[in-house]
Structure 1
Amino acid sequence: MRTKTSAALLSSALKLASHAAMGVAMGLVFVIVLTRFDPAGIMTLISDSSSPQTPLILFEAAVVLSFAVGATLTGLVFMMTEDS
């Protein structure tokens, strides 16, 4: 088995970063749809709290982070299973 050179490692890191960026973008779109159109009544629950900005930021961060981690792990699996 050949060892990876630094160029190959940099290429792999850039691919993973692009998957993470794609996950962040998809997560942001999903959060915008959930908070602006409110199909699940989430904003009603958030606006009833004593300081509605804090739970909103936590909700947005959790959703975006979960999409980013999921897309990054999926990209890692795709990179590991592709034939060289």
Structure 2
Amino acid sequence: MPPKKRSAVVSPAILIELACHTIMGIALGLGLAFALTQVDAFGISTLIAHSPDPHMTFVVFVGTFTLAFAVGASLTGFVFTMMEERS
């Protein structure tokens, strides 16, 4: 009897799990970025306010944090899902 082959089709449950991890990363990234800009403990909001274009600097700062956390959470979720699938 030949060994069982894994299905090449990705199940919708895996995609939903990855989407949930991505959304969680986006929420964490947005929360951290907004907290860093509103609580001036590190002087980030002062630096943004004194930049040539504060609005664009704020958008880039928040976008960078959000993207970094979203990608990190997505990759972590992918690894966890694949490890769960193996066992």
Tell me, yes or no, whether TM beats 0.5: yes
Alpha-carbon offset, residue 52 of structure 1:
0.5
Larger radius of gyration: 2
2:41 aligned partner, one-letter code: P
Distance 2:41 2:16 in 1: 36
Matches within 5 A, 1:45-56: 45-56=47-58
Alpha-carbon offset, residue 29 of structure 1:
1.0
- RMSD of the TM alignment (CA)? 1.4
Moved over 3 A (4+): none
1:73 maps onto 2:75 in alignment: yes
Please give the TM-score of this superposition, normalised by the length of structure 1: 0.88
Which segments of 5 or more consecutive residues in structure 1 lack a partner in the other structure?
none
Which segments of 5 or more consecutive residues in structure 2 lack a partner in the other structure?
none
Please give the TM-score of this superposition, normalised by the length of structure 2: 0.85
Q: Aligned pairs, how many?
A: 82
2:17 aligned partner, one-letter code: K
Distance 1:31 1:39 in 2: 13
